[in-house]
Amino acid sequence: MDETYQKQGYLYDDFRMFHLLDQERREIPFHYHDFYKVLVLLRGNVTYSIEGRSYRLSPYDIVLVSSGSIHRPEVGEGEPYERIIFYISREYLERYRSPDCDLAYCFSRAEEEKSDVLRFPALVSTGLMEVVSRLEENGSEGGYGAGLYARALFTEYMILMCRACRQQPDCFSRNITYNQKMIDLLRYINGHLGDSLSIDELAHRFYISKYHMMRQFKEETGYTIHSYITEKRILAARDLILAGESAKNACFACGFHDYSTFSRAFSLRMGKSPSNCKEKILDSL
């Protein structure tokens, strides 16, 4: 993880919070995390790209990045890039998933709306930022019960965001640019990870030159098609193993044809073998 994040982050069991300010423009490559991410833009000339969709952000927009989603900010000239970031563990969101309180609601709704950016009215944004300010004060002051109080404040933030998302039917940004062909291709790949996904087959299915498809895909995601498919298959296999499936069954269910190849790729990406996957996996990104 970036040293700046380590210095400025407050670590509590279920989440990490960062308040980051880049005075100078820097390139951030496409990447993904094993956890969920919420970003609140405070200021900056920023376009945020997530899985083939790009969003021109405004101050206090909330960006929702699901676990495994490939993303990056494109920061323009003109003003510093300042933001609040929350890294949220998968376990935390699973723990609070019930009919009357689902803290993953905004992420689920984002998938339905095909938009990853929340844009609330000023009054709602102000209320959410008040909770963030209290979290920052608690993180810098510490003291008696600081960890427990931080978790309570963060849970309050998530509840308020989900409530606002439920109450505001038009809260998802439509200021989106995308290549529909690439969106269809990404959706197809993620829905057919267990199938054969050769370049020739994909090009034929989507009626596109394979060379143009490969070039466009790299521009849109930062990954080659092959590396993207491999990464997504590893993540899918990881989820199956954590759900109780055997490593061997997960391997073949997710489109790998050779267990030794799968095991090497999995170990390289996850830092442990598939058979040891049920131990807690920490993402180094």
pLDDT digits (tens, 9 = 90+) for 108-127: 999 999 999 999 999 999 99
Alpha helix (H) residue ranges in 76-224: 90-95, 105-113, 122-141, 146-167, 180-191, 199-205, 210-221
Query: Same domain, yes or no, for 139 and 45?
Result: yes
Beta strands 46-50 and 53-56 are antiparallel
Two tokens at 63? 């960006």
281, pLDDT greater than 80: no
In contact, 106 and 162? CB cutoff 8 Å: yes
Inside any domain, residue 159: yes
Query: Same domain, yes or no, for 57 and 164?
Result: yes
Q: What is the DSSP letter of 98?
A: E
Of 50-54, 109-113, 145-149, the one with minimum mean pLDDT is 145-149
Of 48-52, 126-130, 278-282, the one with minimum mean pLDDT is 278-282
Distance CA 150, CA 166 (A): 24
Higher-scoring residue by pLDDT: 283, 145: 145
Two tokens at 269? 């990406």
Say what the pLDDT of residue 204 is. 94
Two tokens at 204? 């034929």
Say what the pLDDT of residue 5 is. 39
Inside any domain, residue 285: no
Distance CA 164, CA 174 (A): 17
Which pLDDT tens digit goes with each residue over 6-45? 334 454 578 999 999 998 888 889 999 889 999 999 999 9
Inside any domain, residue 283: no
205, pLDDT greater than 50: yes
Inside any domain, residue 124: yes
Q: 155, 176, 197: which is the final residue of a domain?
A: 176
Inside any domain, residue 33: yes
Two tokens at 227? 């590396």
CB atoms within 10 A of CB 46: 22
Of 102-116, 132-146, 216-230, the one with minimum mean pLDDT is 132-146
What pTM did the predictor assign? 0.85
Inside any domain, residue 13: yes
Two tokens at 82? 């300042």
2, pLDDT greater than 80: no
Query: Same domain, yes or no, for 198 and 170?
Result: no
Which pLDDT tens digit goes with each residue over 64-93? 999 999 999 999 988 999 999 999 998 899
Two tokens at 29? 């490559």
Query: Same domain, yes or no, for 169 and 30?
Result: yes
Q: 110, 145, 176: which is the final residue of a domain?
A: 176
Query: Same domain, yes or no, for 38 and 162?
Result: yes
Query: Same domain, yes or no, for 45 and 144?
Result: yes
Say what the pLDDT of residue 144 is. 87
CATH of the domain at 62: 2.60.120.280
| Proportion of the chain above pLDDT 70, given as a percent | 93
Number of independent structural domains in the chain: 2
Inside any domain, residue 281: no
Q: Considering just the CA atoms, what is the radius of gyration of the chain in Å?
A: 20
Query: Same domain, yes or no, for 17 and 109?
Result: yes
269, pLDDT greater than 60: yes
In contact, 136 and 196? CB cutoff 8 Å: no
In contact, 211 and 254? CB cutoff 8 Å: no
Q: 145, 176, 207: which is the final residue of a domain?
A: 176
CATH of the domain at 214: 1.10.10.60
CA distances to 43, 238, 265 from 276, rounded to whole Å, are 42, 10, 14
Domain enclosing residue 111, as ranges: 3-176
Confidence of residue 278 (pLDDT cuts 50, 70, 90): low
Inside any domain, residue 42: yes
Query: Same domain, yes or no, for 119 and 143?
Result: yes
